[in-house]
Amino acid sequence: MQLIELEDVAYAYSGNRLLQGVNLHIRPGSFHFLTGPSGAGKTTFLRLLYMELMPTSGTLRLFGKDAAALDRDAIARVRRRIGVVHQDCDFLDHLSVAENIALPLSVAGTPSPAAEEDLAELIAWVGLGERARARPPELSGGERQRAALARAVITAPDLILADEPTGNVDWDMSLRLLTLLIELNRMGRAVILATHDLNLIRAAKAQVAARVLRIRDRHIEPAGAEL
């Protein structure tokens, strides 16, 4: 089964057509970059995949289910299998970093002791062990992005959507975030990483069999060999 299937999908904001004729299959466990200039529609495309937006026309299937046929509960169930990392990560500033990361779990129910252990392990994995008790406003940009990544994957999603997670951090931190996403991919998660940073894509290609999708002229197509 494909994780994501799009058939002739189009999307328009109030009549202003942004994407059209999008045909795409994303396999479980694959790694895709989504690139294209600012304003091309990268964020819009990721919002379609998270069903924050619905296609204006065409068919979007997630985990084999037609997005248009899902009711609210079904949408919530599908979303639990998707982790999202935004460029501008929002946190609840009155909660600690650890509490923010655990938030998706507390929404799903009371965390068990085993879940507490997993949380500590996850926080250590993103390198925030020393910062777990800090409040989000005390974090650097790179720390915020790593906390956002940890929060996105705490529910062990099958699909991770990362929207320019390296947009506001320096090169070393970009590589570190990339490494975390590649490790998640090696653990079997599908990753879609939107970025306009071609150097990041080049750096990834040495480490992972990533495909590059590009938005051009409202279509999403495989990028050529020039990358």
Which positions lie near ligand ADP, rule CB under 6 A?
13, 18, 36, 38-44
Nearer to Mg ion, 42 or 144 (CB): 42
In this structure, which amino acid lies at residue 86?
H
30 binds, among Mg ion, ligand ADP, none (CB under 5 to 8 A by kind): none
Residues 207, 3, 1, 9, Cα dihedral to 10°:
-120
Best CA proximity match to 193, nearest among 31, 25, 9:
31
85 secondary structure, DSSP code: E
User: Least CB distance from residue 105 to ligand ADP, whole Å?
Assistant: 29
User: Least CB distance from residue 49 to ligand ADP, whole Å?
Assistant: 12
The stretch near Mg ion (CB under 5 A) out of 25-33, 43-51, 125-133, 151-159 is: 43-51
**Beta-carbon count within 10 A of 65 CB:** 14
152 binds, among Mg ion, ligand ADP, none (CB under 5 to 8 A by kind): none
Please tell me the total number of residues recorded for the chain in this structure: 227
Nearer to Mg ion, 43 or 100 (CB): 43
203 binds, among Mg ion, ligand ADP, none (CB under 5 to 8 A by kind): none
- Residue 117 phi/psi, 5° resolution? -65, -45
Nearer to ligand ADP, 46 or 181 (CB): 46
Nearer to ligand ADP, 186 or 216 (CB): 216
Strand 159-163 vs strand 82-85: parallel, antiparallel, or unpaired?
parallel
User: Least CB distance from residue 24 to ligand ADP, whole Å?
Assistant: 16
Nearer to ligand ADP, 37 or 129 (CB): 37
User: Least CB distance from residue 118 to Mg ion, whole Å?
Assistant: 31
Nearer to Mg ion, 186 or 216 (CB): 216
User: Least CB distance from residue 214 to ligand ADP, whole Å?
Assistant: 11
Question: Binder to Mg ion among 30, 35, 43, 145 (CB under 5 A)?
Answer: 43
Residue 201 neighbours by CB under 8 Å, 6+ apart: 33, 35, 195, 210, 212, 227
User: Least CB distance from residue 194 to ligand ADP, whole Å?
Assistant: 7
- Residue 186 phi/psi, 5° resolution? -65, -25
Residues 55, 17, 82, 88, Cα dihedral to 10°:
-150
Q: Kind and range of the H or E element at 174?
A: helix 171-186
Q: Which parts of this chain interact with Mg ion (CB under 5 A)?
A: 42-43
